[in-house]
Amino acid sequence: MEIPYTVDVRPDTGLSNGKFGVWLFLASEVMLFAALFSSYILLRVGSVEWPHGYEELSVPMAFFNTVVLITSSVTMVMAWASLKMNDFGKFRLYLGLTILLSFVFLIVKYFEYSHHLHAGEGPWHNTYYAIYFTITGLHGLHIIGGIVVNAYLWGPGAKMWQTAKERFTNRIEIAGLYWHFVDLVWIFLFPVLYLL
Amino acid sequence: MDAHAHSVDDIKKSVKTYMMVFGALMVLTIITVGVSYVHLPVVAAVTVALIVATIKGSLVAMFFMHLLHERKVIYWVLMLTVVFFIFMMFVPLLTNSNKIPGTTPGTMW
């Protein structure tokens, strides 16, 4: 049985099912992070003292990671544009760079986490570190999820390019939407947790 | 640019836009960090940080996620999401006028 509307658009939505589905998923993701941001506001407003992020965390490391994640968003959209221009070689290069940058982000995060944990500043240390580890931990899990999907599309999943070019291009666009969302969340996390 | 565009010329134009957006995001990131070193009062710092972050987020959504030229149904889904998001952000602030024993609400800013 053929899956409907993987390439053709549905007459009622004007979109392929995959694209509409991922936007609905991202809407639910917005609410997931909204709950945590809301918790952050509640904890901060209700506390007697709240540390400045720049006194507790490493701003240079987070700045570097912000640059890494923004760059990975560019390479992701370039991977999609390469397929649109029928250049599979460049697609492989750009998606490969996206995956590489994702690992760089996680490695930097590992050094940040291990520094704080060795200093006894785990999630149990105070409310600030509890919300810091919860939100960045969830974001990190999203990075890992993105790596798994992108690695599949870079490797075995790329075979689809030989048989269904347009469908594969749609898959990359959808994976890109998710990846840009992960970048977008970090764009707000960085100032909220590190700079204020 | 337009996710529905198919011609190679359209995509090449989009690539130029992506590079310009990339440059703008880098500049805004530097501004965000630069402002944090000024150590503004908390209300001003929060305002500036959130305005810059919103501009950056909008650039990502409009250009990289192709929201600038998207179908109406997605705009409706996102508008509903934004309404709930704003609601969730403001609900905790109400607690600021609800005194918690042992704390002094409203003084943290």
Kindly write down the DSSP assignment for every residue of A66-103, as one continuous string.
HHHHHHHHHHHHHHHHHHHTT-HHHHHHHHHHHHHHHH
The ipTM of this complex is 0.93
What residue of B is the nearest CA neighbor of A85? B8
Contacts of A71 in chain B (CB under 8 A): 22
Contacts of A191 in chain B (CB under 8 A): 32, 36, 49-50, 52-53
DSSP, collapsed to helix, strand or coil, labels residue A8 as coil
Smallest CA–CA separation between B1 and chain A, in Å?
A: 10
The secondary structure element, H or E, covering residue B87 is helix B72-90
A76, A97 Cβ separation under 8 angstroms:
no
Whether the per-residue pLDDT at A7 is higher than 70: the answer is yes
- State the pTM of this model: 0.92
Average pLDDT over residues A152-167: 96
* CB-nearest partner of B64 from A45, A67, A77: A77
* CB-nearest partner of A34 from B5, B11, B88: B88
Tens-place pLDDT, residues A50-63: 898 999 999 999 99
| Size of chain A in residues | 196
Asked if A35 lies within 8 A of B46 by C-beta distance, the reply is: no
A102, A150, B80, B48 alpha-carbon torsion, rounded to 10°:
20
Q: Give the pLDDT of residue B108.
A: 45
Tens-place pLDDT, residues A114-136: 999 999 999 999 999 999 999 99
Smallest CA–CA separation between B20 and chain A, in Å?
A: 11
Tens-place pLDDT, residues B16-28: 999 999 999 999 9
Tens-place pLDDT, residues B50-81: 999 999 999 999 999 999 989 999 999 999 99
Contacts of A48 in chain B (CB under 8 A): 102-104, 108
Average pLDDT over residues B31-39: 89
Catalogue all structural domains in chain A, each as residue range(s) with its CATH number.
17-46+59-195 (1.20.120.80)
A191, B36 Cβ separation under 8 angstroms:
yes
A177, B65 Cβ separation under 8 angstroms:
yes
